[in-house]
Structure 1
Amino acid sequence: MVDKSEKFSQLVRVGYFSRAILYSVVGLIALTSAGKIAAGTDGAFRAIEDFPAGSLVLWLMVVGLSAYGLFRLASFAFDIENQGADTVGWAKRIGHAGSGIGHFALAYAAFEFATTEGSSGQDSAQAAASGLLSMEFGGLVLGLLGLAFFLAALDQAKKGITGNFMHRILSGAPRYTRQLGTVGYLARTIVFAIIGWSLVNAGMMSGGSEQVLTLGDAVATLAGNGAVFTLVAIGMIAFGLLSLILARYRCIPDLDPEGRIPSFRA
């Protein structure tokens, strides 16, 4: 019988696997099809929809990206990875919150493609931002979410430069994992910073909800920047491959017998 801890671990690993598909597809589209990357994240999901058993893959991504989003929100709320409650710890946890919300937005976009013939009308992230902006203090909330993405970008840069992400990877991972992580995390730093700026612009600078960007949209904004665009696209593929390795070798926090998560165990 599979206990709660094992079920939790399996679900999080599905999340990493889903992330691997998404980032790899975004990177490949950016390198091979300028027309499709102009459609941003929608272009990536359209490409996945055209895969053999594409609908099944989309549903896997709905579950996986949602699971990963929950994992990151739990890291923020309950400190399940023992980041701590000092300034640095809270900065990382707030960054995890931004990542969690972003992955829920991606999961919802995948859901739209899985249940219809594709996304239609306003981008789901922009629609959510529009609803938030109609509420009192909605602009402030968007701005704070943008700040969370900036903090996440700084954390991605630190991981890429120092390689400290290797501390939570089990032995047996491929020897090139560190190099993939460096390239992938640095590319993700740029993408997260772009997403963060789009949220601050929309929420605090009267840019409007149409300014809000998701993963593929952020990569698409770099299309006119030559070498930078190419390097970020390669970085997206590298991060997708890293995520595939993490799906197998990431050390996932254990649940205790009551189904709760104790302190992180490496």
Structure 2
Amino acid sequence: MAMPSVPNLEALARIGFAARGIMYILIGILALFTGRSEDGAGALEQLNSGFGRVLLGAMAVGFLGYGLWRISDAIYDSEGHGSDAKGIAVRLGGAVSGVIHLGLCIVAASLTSGSGKGSGGDSTQQGAAATLDLPGGEILVLIGGVVLLATGALQLVKAWRADFLRNLDGEAARRPQIKALGQAGFAARGIVFLVMGWFLLRAGWESRSSEAGGMGEVLASLNPTVHALVAAGLLLFGIFSLVEARYRRINDPKVLERLRSSASRIKPA
């Protein structure tokens, strides 16, 4: 497998952060101003007309770039997470994120081409149903719930510590407005993951996939005040992602050195 060139990786990643930002902004706006609770795929469907399809095409490229960057980082450790237990966990999480965004790429591309058929129900419930049909499926779903709970807790810790700033250029990292955007955004995502984890635990415990739910179901389940706060946080996370598209330290010399070192050890297939 040939590793993408460093400049291409950086460009793809930045387009990807922008696409992710637009998606979260859409989710937040829909929840705050229309009362609609959508996940990523549902938000993308709102663009499926007129000029929106042009934007969807650009976002498909962005999701592809973001997914490839995340998977490349997991394989080559371009950000230096290391090979200890914590580093492997972070890299695996990045790989999962990459796969999810490749899925969003497919959704956006199919909508752009006019072949999109809609989300067809909650993908989290569909995934839970498929898992429950497997031998030991209840245990697997319970493990998934625990993983989501841990992910949510880590997002809240990241919001509290604001350690996401270390990934930004110094100029941006020193701006209090950007710190506030990130803290609000990661806190909102933390709450969403915690509730998703709780839903998945119930699904596994009761062996009922209908108990599972994605972001849309989480938003719909919250009381009006919490719903508004979380929706606003997701919108702010989208704006923070746009900031990352510009200021993320993908081109950190240490990162580039690790990328080149990895590339030098990999021969094209």
- When Rg is computed on C-alpha atoms for both structures, the one with the higher figure is 2
Provide the residue aligned with 2:208 in structure 1.
207
Q: Which has the higher helix share?
A: 2
Give per-residue Cα distances to partners, 1:213-237, cap 9 Å, x unaligned. Answer: 3333332332xx1211111011011
Query: What are the residue-to-residue correspondences of 1:1-266 with 2, within 5 Å?
Result: 4-34=5-35, 36-37=36-37, 40-50=39-49, 52-114=50-112, 115-119=114-118, 121-173=120-172, 175=175, 176-203=177-204, 205-208=206-209, 210-222=210-222, 225-252=223-250, 253-254=255-256, 255-256=259-260, 259=263
Aligned to 1:196, the other structure's residue is in SS state: helix
Q: Aligned equivalents of 2:61 and 2:181: distance in 1?
A: 25
Give per-residue Cα distances to partners, 1:30-79, cap 9 Å, x unaligned. Answer: 11111x32x544541232224x5212222333332243234334444554
Q: Aligned equivalents of 1:44 and 1:151: distance in 2?
A: 26
| Structure 1 portions without partners, runs of 5+ | none
- After superposition, the Cα gap between the structure-2 partners of 1:233 and 1:116, relative to the gap in structure 1 and judged at 3 Å, is same
Q: Aligned equivalents of 1:205 and 1:261: distance in 2?
A: 49
Are the counterparts in 2 of residues 109 and 124 from structure 1 also a CA contact under 8 Å? no
Q: Aligned equivalents of 1:101 and 1:139: distance in 2?
A: 23
- After superposition, the Cα gap between the structure-2 partners of 1:257 and 1:72, relative to the gap in structure 1 and judged at 3 Å, is closer
| Structure 2 portions without partners, runs of 5+ | none
Identity among equivalent pairs (%)? 32
Name the amino acid aligned to 1:60: A
The two structures have a TM-score, normalised by structure 2, of: 0.79
Q: Aligned equivalents of 2:142 and 2:170: distance in 1?
A: 40
Displaced runs of 4 or more, over 6 A: none
- The Cα shift of 1:12 comes to 0.9
Give per-residue Cα distances to partners, 1:163-212, cap 9 Å, x unaligned. Answer: 1111110133282211101111101101122223333343454121x444
**Which moved further from structure 2: 52-61 or 124-133?**
124-133
Q: Aligned equivalents of 1:236 and 1:261: distance in 2?
A: 40
The two structures have a TM-score, normalised by structure 1, of: 0.80
Are the counterparts in 2 of residues 132 and 138 from structure 1 also a CA contact under 8 Å? yes
- After superposition, the Cα gap between the structure-2 partners of 1:218 and 1:57, relative to the gap in structure 1 and judged at 3 Å, is farther
Are the counterparts in 2 of residues 94 and 148 from structure 1 also a CA contact under 8 Å? no
Are the counterparts in 1 of residues 41 and 119 from structure 2 also a CA contact under 8 Å? no
The alignment yields a C-alpha RMSD, in angstroms, of: 3.0
- After superposition, the Cα gap between the structure-2 partners of 1:125 and 1:260, relative to the gap in structure 1 and judged at 3 Å, is farther
